[in-house]
Structures are given as C-alpha cells and as structure tokens.
C-alpha cells in the first residue's frame, strides 16, 4: 500500500470516528497480548473522554498509527489526561490527551489487565518468539555464506 493510500485510510477512519460511527480495525502488534492477539478485530467508537474509566481499552494516535492500549491511570480532570499501557508492556505510554484520543474499544470485551508476572511472561514470550524466528534462519544463512 502506498504512503498516500495509507494516509487516506487513516484520515477516513478518523473522520468516521468523529461522526460517531463504529469502526473495525485489525490488531497488528503484540503490545496487548494475550488479551488481544495480532489479527484480532477490534471495534472502536468515539465516546466522550469523560466516560473513559481505568481498565478500558482505548485507541489513540501515535504518529500516523492507531495504538490500542489499556487505561492505567487518569492523571487530571481538567483537561483530562489519560495514562495507558499495553497489557504485555512493562512501561507506561506517553499521556493521551483529548487531541490524540480516538475512541474506546467496544468489542471484544477485554479481560481485566494482567498482573506484573503475566506482563513479564508476555514480554519473555515475545522475545523468545522473535528470536526463534531469527534462529530458524541461521542454517540457511550459514549454507549461503559457505558457498562463497
């Protein structure tokens, strides 16, 4: 997909959310694993920021991407600032403000946030899985290099 086409869809999704429509997105990352796996369909709808509560999963903008993470803390009431974190992440994200808030995840209904031990397990699992994929390529790389 070209950069121009990606920008078009990004803007179209944002305008649909602003109009109050429900939008379906496909999860691509691992930051919400095991609650949300890559390929899962997430339905978003923009609801007032004042109705967001701790434990809700929300979508916000980071660059030209949508990020879906769970609300961990609500820092201020006026203007409302929200602190989020992915279920598999150990660190908090930057604060989400009214300007980069997009909507709340309506479906699927998410389980409660995992405890720190579950987060550590998820992080180690991701690390192992990524390195396992790389390790499987080593024999073919060694064979390729030995031919020279």
Q: Which has more pLDDT, 133 or 124?
A: 124
For residues 59-70, give the mean pLDDT: 92
DSSP string, 54-76: TT-EEEEEETTEEEEEEEEEEEE
Report yes or no: 97 and 91 within 8 Å, Cβ to Cβ: no
For residues 115-135, give the mean pLDDT: 72
Mean pLDDT over all residues of the chain?
83
Chain position carrying tokens 């980069």 = 100
**CATH code of residue 95:** 2.10.109.10
User: What is the domain count for the chain?
Assistant: 1
Give per-residue pLDDT as tens, 69-98. 999 999 877 788 899 999 888 889 989 988
CA distance 87 to 67: 12
**Coil, helix or strand for 125?**
helix
Give per-residue pLDDT as tens, 16-54. 999 999 999 888 888 888 788 888 889 999 999 989 999
30 closest CA partner among 68, 78, 3, 74 = 68
DSSP string, 5-49: HHHHHHHHHHHHHHTT--EEEE---STTTTTS-TT-EEEEE---G
CA distance 74 to 34: 24
45 closest CA partner among 69, 67, 19 = 19
**Range(s) of the domain holding residue 48:** 3-146
Q: What's the predicted TM-score (pTM) here?
A: 0.71
pLDDT reported for residue 142: 63
């Amino acid at each position: 997909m070209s950069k121009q086409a990606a920008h078009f869809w990004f803007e179209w999704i944002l305008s649909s959310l602003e109009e109050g429509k429900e939008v379906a997105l496909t999860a691509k990352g691992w930051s919400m694993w095991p609650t949300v796996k890559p390929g899962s369909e997430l339905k978003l709808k923009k609801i007032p920021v004042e109705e967001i509560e701790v434990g809700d999963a929300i979508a916000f903008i980071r660059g030209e991407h949508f990020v879906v993470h769970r609300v961990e803390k609500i820092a201020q009431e006026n203007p409302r600032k929200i602190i989020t974190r992915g279920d598999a992440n150990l660190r908090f994200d930057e604060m989400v403000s009214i300007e980069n808030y997009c909507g709340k995840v309506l479906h699927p209904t998410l389980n409660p946030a995992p405890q720190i031990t579950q987060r550590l397990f998820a992080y180690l699992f991701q690390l192992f899985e990524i390195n396992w994929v790389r390790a499987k390529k080593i024999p073919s790389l060694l064979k390729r290099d030995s031919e020279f």
